[in-house]
Amino acid sequence: MHFDLELDIAFSAGRSGAGPATWGQHAIWDAMRTLGTDAARYNVAGGARLDPPITRSRLTAVLGELACLHDSLRTRLSADDGGLRQVVYSRGAVPLVVRQSTAEELGRSANVLYGELRALPFDVEHEWPVRVGAVEVDGLVHHVVFALSHTASDGWGVRNLIADFTDLCGGRSVASILAGNGRLQPLDEAGFQASGRGRRRDAAARRFWRDLLHSGPPNLFPATAGRPAAQPFPNAVLHSPALALATEHVARYLAVSPASVLLAAAAASMGRLTGVSEAVFQVVVNNRFLPGLADVVNTVAQEGLLHVAETDGDFSLLVRRTFGATVSTHWHAYYDKLALDSDIATSRDRGDVIGDHSCVVNDFRGLVPDETWVRPEPVPLARALSRTVLTWPVEFEPRPNLSFALDAAAVSGAIELAMTADSAVLPRPDMERFLFGIESLVVGEALAHS
Protein backbone atom coordinates (compact mmCIF):
# COMPACT_ATOMS: atom_id res chain seq x y z
CA MET A 1 0.00 0.00 0.00
CA HIS A 2 1.22 3.51 -0.79
CA PHE A 3 0.97 6.27 1.78
CA ASP A 4 2.16 9.76 0.90
CA LEU A 5 3.81 10.13 4.31
CA GLU A 6 4.33 7.90 7.34
CA LEU A 7 5.09 9.39 10.77
CA ASP A 8 5.39 8.29 14.38
CA ILE A 9 3.64 10.65 16.80
CA ALA A 10 5.35 10.49 20.19
CA PHE A 11 3.32 10.39 23.40
CA SER A 12 4.40 10.59 27.04
CA ALA A 13 3.08 11.30 30.55
CA GLY A 14 0.52 8.50 30.50
CA ARG A 15 0.51 6.02 33.34
CA SER A 16 2.16 2.61 33.05
CA GLY A 17 1.58 -0.75 34.68
CA ALA A 18 0.93 -4.43 34.12
CA GLY A 19 -1.59 -6.99 35.24
CA PRO A 20 -3.98 -9.71 34.11
CA ALA A 21 -5.94 -9.19 30.90
CA THR A 22 -9.62 -8.31 31.17
CA TRP A 23 -12.33 -10.80 30.27
CA GLY A 24 -12.94 -8.97 27.02
CA GLN A 25 -9.27 -8.82 26.06
CA HIS A 26 -8.86 -12.52 26.77
CA ALA A 27 -11.97 -13.51 24.82
CA ILE A 28 -10.88 -11.59 21.73
CA TRP A 29 -7.27 -12.81 22.03
CA ASP A 30 -8.50 -16.42 22.01
CA ALA A 31 -10.93 -15.81 19.17
CA MET A 32 -8.36 -14.06 16.98
CA ARG A 33 -5.91 -16.95 17.27
CA THR A 34 -8.43 -19.25 15.54
CA LEU A 35 -9.08 -16.93 12.59
CA GLY A 36 -5.81 -17.31 10.69
CA THR A 37 -5.61 -15.05 7.64
CA ASP A 38 -9.14 -13.84 8.39
CA ALA A 39 -8.01 -12.07 11.60
CA ALA A 40 -7.54 -8.62 10.04
CA ARG A 41 -11.24 -8.55 9.11
CA TYR A 42 -11.97 -8.21 12.82
CA ASN A 43 -10.04 -4.97 13.21
CA VAL A 44 -12.34 -2.11 14.17
CA ALA A 45 -12.23 1.31 12.55
CA GLY A 46 -13.98 4.63 12.25
CA GLY A 47 -13.52 8.09 10.83
CA ALA A 48 -14.17 11.72 11.58
CA ARG A 49 -14.55 14.65 9.19
CA LEU A 50 -12.99 17.78 10.68
CA ASP A 51 -14.98 20.99 10.31
CA PRO A 52 -13.11 23.27 10.39
CA PRO A 53 -10.00 21.38 9.22
CA ILE A 54 -6.86 21.55 11.34
CA THR A 55 -3.13 21.72 10.77
CA ARG A 56 -0.99 18.63 10.92
CA SER A 57 0.83 20.01 13.98
CA ARG A 58 -2.51 20.42 15.76
CA LEU A 59 -3.43 16.85 14.82
CA THR A 60 -0.20 15.45 16.23
CA ALA A 61 -0.76 17.33 19.50
CA VAL A 62 -4.30 15.96 19.80
CA LEU A 63 -3.15 12.40 19.06
CA GLY A 64 -0.61 12.67 21.86
CA GLU A 65 -3.37 13.78 24.24
CA LEU A 66 -5.63 10.98 23.03
CA ALA A 67 -2.96 8.37 23.73
CA CYS A 68 -2.65 9.67 27.29
CA LEU A 69 -6.42 9.67 27.73
CA HIS A 70 -6.92 5.98 26.83
CA ASP A 71 -4.60 3.34 28.27
CA SER A 72 -5.81 0.78 25.70
CA LEU A 73 -3.97 2.68 22.94
CA ARG A 74 -0.71 2.14 24.85
CA THR A 75 -1.32 -1.49 25.82
CA ARG A 76 0.30 -4.66 24.52
CA LEU A 77 -0.72 -8.20 25.39
CA SER A 78 1.52 -11.16 26.09
CA ALA A 79 0.87 -14.76 27.06
CA ASP A 80 3.02 -16.77 29.45
CA ASP A 81 2.58 -19.65 31.88
CA GLY A 82 0.67 -17.31 34.18
CA GLY A 83 -1.93 -16.55 31.52
CA LEU A 84 -2.61 -13.52 29.35
CA ARG A 85 -1.27 -10.21 30.67
CA GLN A 86 -1.67 -6.60 29.63
CA VAL A 87 1.25 -4.18 29.79
CA VAL A 88 0.53 -0.44 29.68
CA TYR A 89 3.39 1.82 28.58
CA SER A 90 3.82 5.48 29.50
CA ARG A 91 5.81 6.38 26.39
CA GLY A 92 5.73 5.42 22.74
CA ALA A 93 4.63 6.64 19.33
CA VAL A 94 1.31 6.33 17.50
CA PRO A 95 1.74 5.45 13.79
CA LEU A 96 0.26 8.14 11.51
CA VAL A 97 -0.06 7.94 7.74
CA VAL A 98 -0.94 10.98 5.65
CA ARG A 99 -2.57 11.01 2.23
CA GLN A 100 -2.91 14.06 0.00
CA SER A 101 -6.20 14.69 -1.77
CA THR A 102 -8.19 17.30 -3.62
CA ALA A 103 -11.40 18.73 -2.20
CA GLU A 104 -13.38 16.91 -4.89
CA GLU A 105 -11.81 13.54 -4.03
CA LEU A 106 -11.86 13.95 -0.24
CA GLY A 107 -14.65 11.48 0.46
CA ARG A 108 -13.25 8.85 -1.85
CA SER A 109 -9.72 9.29 -0.46
CA ALA A 110 -10.99 8.89 3.11
CA ASN A 111 -12.94 5.74 2.23
CA VAL A 112 -9.95 4.17 0.50
CA LEU A 113 -7.63 5.01 3.39
CA TYR A 114 -10.19 3.60 5.85
CA GLY A 115 -10.25 0.29 4.00
CA GLU A 116 -6.49 0.07 3.66
CA LEU A 117 -5.75 0.74 7.33
CA ARG A 118 -8.46 -1.60 8.54
CA ALA A 119 -7.11 -4.41 6.34
CA LEU A 120 -3.62 -4.35 7.88
CA PRO A 121 -3.11 -7.01 10.60
CA PHE A 122 -1.80 -6.11 14.06
CA ASP A 123 0.86 -7.85 16.09
CA VAL A 124 -0.50 -6.92 19.52
CA GLU A 125 2.49 -8.37 21.35
CA HIS A 126 5.02 -6.14 19.61
CA GLU A 127 3.07 -3.24 18.03
CA TRP A 128 0.76 -0.53 19.31
CA PRO A 129 -2.83 -1.60 18.67
CA VAL A 130 -3.82 1.60 16.83
CA ARG A 131 -3.05 3.27 13.50
CA VAL A 132 -4.21 6.72 12.44
CA GLY A 133 -4.68 8.04 8.93
CA ALA A 134 -5.12 11.64 7.87
CA VAL A 135 -6.35 13.06 4.56
CA GLU A 136 -4.97 16.49 3.77
CA VAL A 137 -6.20 19.07 1.28
CA ASP A 138 -4.00 22.12 0.66
CA GLY A 139 -1.98 21.57 3.83
CA LEU A 140 -4.92 21.05 6.22
CA VAL A 141 -6.28 17.81 7.67
CA HIS A 142 -9.92 17.34 6.64
CA HIS A 143 -10.54 13.72 7.58
CA VAL A 144 -9.03 11.34 10.15
CA VAL A 145 -9.34 7.55 10.20
CA PHE A 146 -8.66 5.28 13.20
CA ALA A 147 -7.97 1.55 12.87
CA LEU A 148 -7.57 -0.56 16.02
CA SER A 149 -6.95 -4.17 16.85
CA HIS A 150 -10.08 -5.77 18.26
CA THR A 151 -8.05 -6.62 21.37
CA ALA A 152 -7.81 -2.88 22.08
CA SER A 153 -11.39 -1.85 21.37
CA ASP A 154 -14.76 -2.94 20.13
CA GLY A 155 -16.98 -0.88 17.84
CA TRP A 156 -18.58 1.02 20.71
CA GLY A 157 -15.10 1.92 21.95
CA VAL A 158 -14.20 3.38 18.55
CA ARG A 159 -17.28 5.58 18.79
CA ASN A 160 -16.05 6.82 22.17
CA LEU A 161 -12.56 7.36 20.77
CA ILE A 162 -13.88 9.54 17.96
CA ALA A 163 -16.05 11.53 20.38
CA ASP A 164 -13.03 12.26 22.60
CA PHE A 165 -10.89 13.09 19.56
CA THR A 166 -13.51 15.57 18.38
CA ASP A 167 -13.68 17.19 21.84
CA LEU A 168 -9.90 17.52 22.00
CA CYS A 169 -9.80 19.08 18.54
CA GLY A 170 -12.38 21.58 19.77
CA GLY A 171 -10.12 22.66 22.61
CA ARG A 172 -11.38 20.55 25.49
CA SER A 173 -8.65 19.34 27.87
CA VAL A 174 -7.84 15.79 28.93
CA ALA A 175 -8.52 16.75 32.54
CA SER A 176 -12.01 18.05 31.79
CA ILE A 177 -12.89 14.91 29.81
CA LEU A 178 -11.79 12.68 32.68
CA ALA A 179 -13.30 14.80 35.45
CA GLY A 180 -16.08 13.03 37.30
CA ASN A 181 -16.90 10.37 34.72
CA GLY A 182 -15.35 7.43 36.60
CA ARG A 183 -14.30 5.52 33.49
CA LEU A 184 -12.48 2.26 34.10
CA GLN A 185 -9.17 1.90 32.27
CA PRO A 186 -8.35 -1.73 31.33
CA LEU A 187 -6.11 -2.35 34.38
CA ASP A 188 -8.84 -0.94 36.64
CA GLU A 189 -11.45 -3.10 34.93
CA ALA A 190 -9.32 -6.20 35.47
CA GLY A 191 -9.09 -5.24 39.14
CA PHE A 192 -12.87 -5.01 39.39
CA GLN A 193 -13.26 -8.39 37.70
CA ALA A 194 -10.99 -9.98 40.31
CA SER A 195 -12.93 -8.38 43.19
CA GLY A 196 -15.77 -9.98 45.09
CA ARG A 197 -18.39 -7.96 43.20
CA GLY A 198 -16.82 -8.85 39.89
CA ARG A 199 -16.70 -12.56 40.66
CA ARG A 200 -20.35 -12.53 41.80
CA ARG A 201 -21.41 -10.90 38.53
CA ASP A 202 -19.37 -13.48 36.62
CA ALA A 203 -20.92 -16.36 38.56
CA ALA A 204 -24.46 -15.07 37.93
CA ALA A 205 -23.84 -14.64 34.21
CA ARG A 206 -22.35 -18.11 33.81
CA ARG A 207 -25.25 -19.62 35.76
CA PHE A 208 -27.68 -17.87 33.37
CA TRP A 209 -25.80 -19.33 30.40
CA ARG A 210 -25.75 -22.84 31.85
CA ASP A 211 -29.49 -22.77 32.59
CA LEU A 212 -30.35 -21.67 29.04
CA LEU A 213 -27.98 -24.14 27.45
CA HIS A 214 -29.51 -27.01 29.39
CA SER A 215 -33.03 -25.99 28.31
CA GLY A 216 -32.32 -25.18 24.65
CA PRO A 217 -32.57 -27.55 21.66
CA PRO A 218 -29.52 -29.82 21.24
CA ASN A 219 -29.44 -29.14 17.50
CA LEU A 220 -30.88 -26.15 15.67
CA PHE A 221 -30.26 -27.79 12.27
CA PRO A 222 -31.40 -31.42 12.66
CA ALA A 223 -31.46 -32.17 8.92
CA THR A 224 -27.72 -31.53 8.60
CA ALA A 225 -26.52 -32.66 12.05
CA GLY A 226 -23.15 -34.36 12.15
CA ARG A 227 -21.86 -33.25 8.75
CA PRO A 228 -18.18 -32.23 8.63
CA ALA A 229 -17.62 -28.47 8.28
CA ALA A 230 -17.43 -27.06 4.80
CA GLN A 231 -14.21 -25.72 3.29
CA PRO A 232 -14.40 -22.69 3.08
CA PHE A 233 -17.33 -20.75 4.61
CA PRO A 234 -19.19 -18.57 2.05
CA ASN A 235 -20.22 -15.01 2.86
CA ALA A 236 -23.51 -13.56 1.60
CA VAL A 237 -24.47 -9.88 1.87
CA LEU A 238 -28.06 -8.66 1.53
CA HIS A 239 -28.22 -4.90 0.85
CA SER A 240 -31.80 -3.80 1.58
CA PRO A 241 -33.09 -0.20 1.72
CA ALA A 242 -36.56 -1.64 2.37
CA LEU A 243 -35.38 -3.48 5.47
CA ALA A 244 -33.96 -0.26 6.90
CA LEU A 245 -37.27 1.56 6.44
CA ALA A 246 -39.38 -1.35 7.69
CA THR A 247 -37.27 -2.09 10.77
CA GLU A 248 -37.59 1.45 12.07
CA HIS A 249 -41.33 1.50 11.34
CA VAL A 250 -42.03 -1.78 13.15
CA ALA A 251 -39.85 -0.76 16.11
CA ARG A 252 -41.77 2.50 16.50
CA TYR A 253 -45.28 1.09 16.44
CA LEU A 254 -44.39 -1.87 18.68
CA ALA A 255 -42.32 0.37 21.03
CA VAL A 256 -39.30 -1.96 20.94
CA SER A 257 -35.69 -1.64 19.86
CA PRO A 258 -34.87 -2.01 16.14
CA ALA A 259 -32.35 -4.71 17.10
CA SER A 260 -35.16 -6.79 18.61
CA VAL A 261 -37.09 -6.60 15.33
CA LEU A 262 -34.15 -8.06 13.41
CA LEU A 263 -33.50 -10.72 16.06
CA ALA A 264 -37.13 -11.84 15.97
CA ALA A 265 -37.09 -11.96 12.17
CA ALA A 266 -33.86 -13.99 12.20
CA ALA A 267 -35.39 -16.44 14.69
CA ALA A 268 -38.59 -16.84 12.64
CA SER A 269 -36.73 -17.14 9.33
CA MET A 270 -34.44 -19.80 10.74
CA GLY A 271 -37.41 -21.74 12.10
CA ARG A 272 -39.02 -21.77 8.66
CA LEU A 273 -35.85 -23.31 7.22
CA THR A 274 -35.18 -25.90 9.91
CA GLY A 275 -38.59 -26.81 11.30
CA VAL A 276 -37.28 -26.06 14.83
CA SER A 277 -39.69 -23.64 16.48
CA GLU A 278 -37.15 -22.10 18.85
CA ALA A 279 -33.90 -20.26 18.31
CA VAL A 280 -30.76 -19.71 20.34
CA PHE A 281 -28.39 -16.92 19.37
CA GLN A 282 -25.19 -15.60 20.82
CA VAL A 283 -25.90 -11.86 20.62
CA VAL A 284 -23.04 -9.37 20.86
CA VAL A 285 -23.78 -6.96 23.74
CA ASN A 286 -21.88 -3.70 24.20
CA ASN A 287 -21.89 -3.82 28.06
CA ARG A 288 -21.55 -0.02 28.13
CA PHE A 289 -24.49 0.25 30.54
CA LEU A 290 -22.34 -1.14 33.38
CA PRO A 291 -20.75 1.32 35.86
CA GLY A 292 -17.52 2.89 34.63
CA LEU A 293 -17.74 1.44 31.11
CA ALA A 294 -19.95 3.94 29.26
CA ASP A 295 -17.10 6.04 27.85
CA VAL A 296 -14.19 3.60 27.73
CA VAL A 297 -12.11 2.64 24.72
CA ASN A 298 -11.56 -1.03 25.34
CA THR A 299 -12.89 -4.39 24.20
CA VAL A 300 -15.83 -4.67 26.58
CA ALA A 301 -18.50 -6.18 24.33
CA GLN A 302 -19.19 -9.88 24.79
CA GLU A 303 -21.75 -12.41 23.66
CA GLY A 304 -24.96 -12.80 25.60
CA LEU A 305 -27.22 -15.83 25.14
CA LEU A 306 -30.74 -15.33 23.76
CA HIS A 307 -33.32 -18.13 23.73
CA VAL A 308 -36.47 -17.42 21.70
CA ALA A 309 -39.29 -19.96 21.87
CA GLU A 310 -42.34 -20.39 19.62
CA THR A 311 -40.84 -18.65 16.62
CA ASP A 312 -43.64 -19.84 14.33
CA GLY A 313 -46.43 -17.72 15.85
CA ASP A 314 -47.68 -14.17 15.25
CA PHE A 315 -44.69 -12.04 14.26
CA SER A 316 -45.62 -8.94 16.25
CA LEU A 317 -45.95 -11.03 19.41
CA LEU A 318 -42.62 -12.69 18.64
CA VAL A 319 -40.97 -9.26 18.37
CA ARG A 320 -42.33 -8.21 21.76
CA ARG A 321 -41.23 -11.46 23.42
CA THR A 322 -37.79 -11.17 21.85
CA PHE A 323 -37.48 -7.61 23.13
CA GLY A 324 -38.36 -8.76 26.65
CA ALA A 325 -35.91 -11.66 26.52
CA THR A 326 -33.02 -9.42 25.49
CA VAL A 327 -33.11 -7.63 28.86
CA SER A 328 -31.77 -10.73 30.65
CA THR A 329 -29.45 -11.48 27.74
CA HIS A 330 -27.82 -8.05 28.05
CA TRP A 331 -27.54 -8.17 31.83
CA HIS A 332 -25.72 -11.53 31.73
CA ALA A 333 -23.22 -10.74 28.96
CA TYR A 334 -20.28 -9.73 31.20
CA TYR A 335 -18.34 -12.79 32.35
CA ASP A 336 -15.11 -14.76 32.29
CA LYS A 337 -15.30 -16.67 29.00
CA LEU A 338 -12.50 -19.04 29.97
CA ALA A 339 -14.48 -20.07 33.03
CA LEU A 340 -17.68 -20.41 30.99
CA ASP A 341 -15.93 -22.64 28.44
CA SER A 342 -14.70 -24.78 31.34
CA ASP A 343 -18.25 -25.00 32.72
CA ILE A 344 -19.57 -26.20 29.35
CA ALA A 345 -16.76 -28.73 28.95
CA THR A 346 -17.44 -30.11 32.44
CA SER A 347 -21.13 -30.49 31.63
CA ARG A 348 -20.32 -32.35 28.42
CA ASP A 349 -17.91 -34.64 30.27
CA ARG A 350 -20.75 -35.51 32.65
CA GLY A 351 -22.90 -36.48 29.68
CA ASP A 352 -25.23 -33.47 29.98
CA VAL A 353 -27.07 -32.39 26.84
CA ILE A 354 -25.86 -28.92 25.86
CA GLY A 355 -28.05 -26.74 23.69
CA ASP A 356 -26.82 -25.67 20.27
CA HIS A 357 -25.32 -22.17 20.54
CA SER A 358 -23.44 -22.06 17.25
CA CYS A 359 -25.26 -19.02 15.78
CA VAL A 360 -23.94 -15.50 16.41
CA VAL A 361 -25.73 -12.21 15.70
CA ASN A 362 -23.94 -8.85 15.85
CA ASP A 363 -26.04 -5.73 15.15
CA PHE A 364 -23.61 -2.82 15.04
CA ARG A 365 -25.74 -0.27 13.21
CA GLY A 366 -25.17 3.31 14.30
CA LEU A 367 -21.86 2.79 16.06
CA VAL A 368 -19.74 5.10 13.96
CA PRO A 369 -21.52 7.31 11.43
CA ASP A 370 -20.02 7.22 7.95
CA GLU A 371 -19.87 10.84 6.83
CA THR A 372 -18.52 10.21 3.36
CA TRP A 373 -21.55 8.72 1.64
CA VAL A 374 -24.58 10.65 0.41
CA ARG A 375 -27.99 9.39 1.48
CA PRO A 376 -30.15 8.29 -1.45
CA GLU A 377 -33.48 9.96 -2.07
CA PRO A 378 -36.22 8.35 0.09
CA VAL A 379 -38.71 6.15 -1.73
CA PRO A 380 -41.90 4.37 -0.61
CA LEU A 381 -41.34 1.07 1.17
CA ALA A 382 -42.94 -1.06 -1.56
CA ARG A 383 -40.71 0.52 -4.21
CA ALA A 384 -37.61 0.17 -2.03
CA LEU A 385 -37.98 -3.61 -2.26
CA SER A 386 -36.90 -3.47 -5.89
CA ARG A 387 -33.51 -2.13 -4.78
CA THR A 388 -32.56 -5.18 -2.70
CA VAL A 389 -29.34 -6.82 -3.85
CA LEU A 390 -27.75 -10.11 -2.71
CA THR A 391 -24.05 -10.66 -3.36
CA TRP A 392 -21.45 -13.30 -2.48
CA PRO A 393 -18.34 -11.15 -2.06
CA VAL A 394 -15.84 -13.46 -0.37
CA GLU A 395 -15.18 -16.81 1.31
CA PHE A 396 -13.54 -17.33 4.70
CA GLU A 397 -11.59 -20.01 6.44
CA PRO A 398 -13.77 -22.36 8.54
CA ARG A 399 -14.50 -21.13 12.03
CA PRO A 400 -14.80 -23.74 14.79
CA ASN A 401 -18.14 -24.30 16.52
CA LEU A 402 -19.95 -21.91 14.20
CA SER A 403 -23.05 -22.57 12.10
CA PHE A 404 -23.44 -18.94 11.07
CA ALA A 405 -22.46 -15.41 12.03
CA LEU A 406 -24.87 -12.66 11.03
CA ASP A 407 -23.78 -9.01 11.09
CA ALA A 408 -26.16 -6.07 10.61
CA ALA A 409 -24.71 -2.76 9.44
CA ALA A 410 -26.18 0.56 8.31
CA VAL A 411 -24.87 1.47 4.85
CA SER A 412 -26.09 4.29 2.58
CA GLY A 413 -29.68 4.34 3.79
CA ALA A 414 -29.93 0.55 3.84
CA ILE A 415 -29.38 -2.36 6.18
CA GLU A 416 -26.71 -4.79 5.09
CA LEU A 417 -27.01 -8.28 6.50
CA ALA A 418 -23.66 -10.05 6.10
CA MET A 419 -23.87 -13.78 6.77
CA THR A 420 -20.91 -16.13 7.01
CA ALA A 421 -22.05 -19.74 7.35
CA ASP A 422 -20.94 -23.34 7.32
CA SER A 423 -22.52 -24.41 4.04
CA ALA A 424 -22.55 -28.02 5.25
CA VAL A 425 -25.15 -26.85 7.78
CA LEU A 426 -26.75 -24.06 5.73
CA PRO A 427 -26.15 -24.55 1.99
CA ARG A 428 -26.04 -21.43 -0.14
CA PRO A 429 -29.70 -21.67 -1.22
CA ASP A 430 -30.71 -21.87 2.46
CA MET A 431 -28.51 -18.87 3.30
CA GLU A 432 -30.31 -16.93 0.57
CA ARG A 433 -33.75 -18.01 1.80
CA PHE A 434 -32.78 -17.11 5.37
CA LEU A 435 -31.71 -13.57 4.47
CA PHE A 436 -34.64 -12.85 2.17
CA GLY A 437 -36.91 -14.37 4.84
CA ILE A 438 -35.77 -11.74 7.36
CA GLU A 439 -36.53 -8.98 4.88
CA SER A 440 -39.92 -10.46 3.96
CA LEU A 441 -41.04 -10.80 7.59
CA VAL A 442 -40.12 -7.25 8.62
CA VAL A 443 -41.32 -5.56 5.42
CA GLY A 444 -44.57 -7.53 5.52
CA GLU A 445 -45.20 -6.47 9.11
CA ALA A 446 -44.48 -2.83 8.26
CA LEU A 447 -46.77 -2.84 5.23
CA ALA A 448 -49.57 -4.43 7.28
CA HIS A 449 -49.40 -1.54 9.76
CA SER A 450 -48.62 1.38 7.46
Spatial separation of the C-alpha atoms in residues 395 and 123, rounded to whole Å: 24
State the pLDDT at residue 369. 52
State the pLDDT at residue 3. 61
Reported as type and span, the H/E element at residue 307 is strand 302-309
What total number of domains does the chain contain?
2
Low-confidence ranges of the chain (pLDDT < 70): 1-3, 35-38, 180, 368-376
Residue 52 shares a structural domain with residue 154: yes
What does 12-46 look like in DSSP terms, one character per residue?
A: -S---EEEEPPHHHHHHHHHHHTSGGGGGGG-EEE
CATH code, 266: 3.30.559.30
405 found inside a domain: yes
189 found inside a domain: no
Spatial separation of the C-alpha atoms in residues 450 and 443, rounded to whole Å: 10
In this predicted model, what pLDDT tens digit does every residue of 319-376 receive, in sequence order? 999 999 999 999 999 999 999 999 999 999 999 999 999 999 999 987 755 544 445 6
Residue 112 shares a structural domain with residue 54: yes
State the pLDDT at residue 385. 93
Residue 207 shares a structural domain with residue 307: yes
Residue 59 shares a structural domain with residue 119: yes
The overall longest dimension of the chain from CA atoms, in Å, is: 68
Residue 95 shares a structural domain with residue 219: no
190 found inside a domain: no
Spatial separation of the C-alpha atoms in residues 409 and 411, rounded to whole Å: 6
Spatial separation of the C-alpha atoms in residues 255 and 72, rounded to whole Å: 37
Residue 206 shares a structural domain with residue 171: no
- The whole model's pTM is what? 0.92
CB atoms within 10 A of CB 246: 27
Domain boundary among 184, 215, 241: 184
In this predicted model, what pLDDT tens digit does every residue of 172-219 receive, in sequence order? 998 888 886 788 999 999 999 999 999 999 999 999 999 999 999 999
Residue 175 shares a structural domain with residue 199: no
Residue 298 shares a structural domain with residue 394: yes
The CA-atom distances, in angstroms, between 129 and each of 273, 281, 395 are 41, 30, 26
211 found inside a domain: yes
Residue 205 shares a structural domain with residue 179: no
Residue 93 shares a structural domain with residue 221: no
**Domain around 26:** 5-184
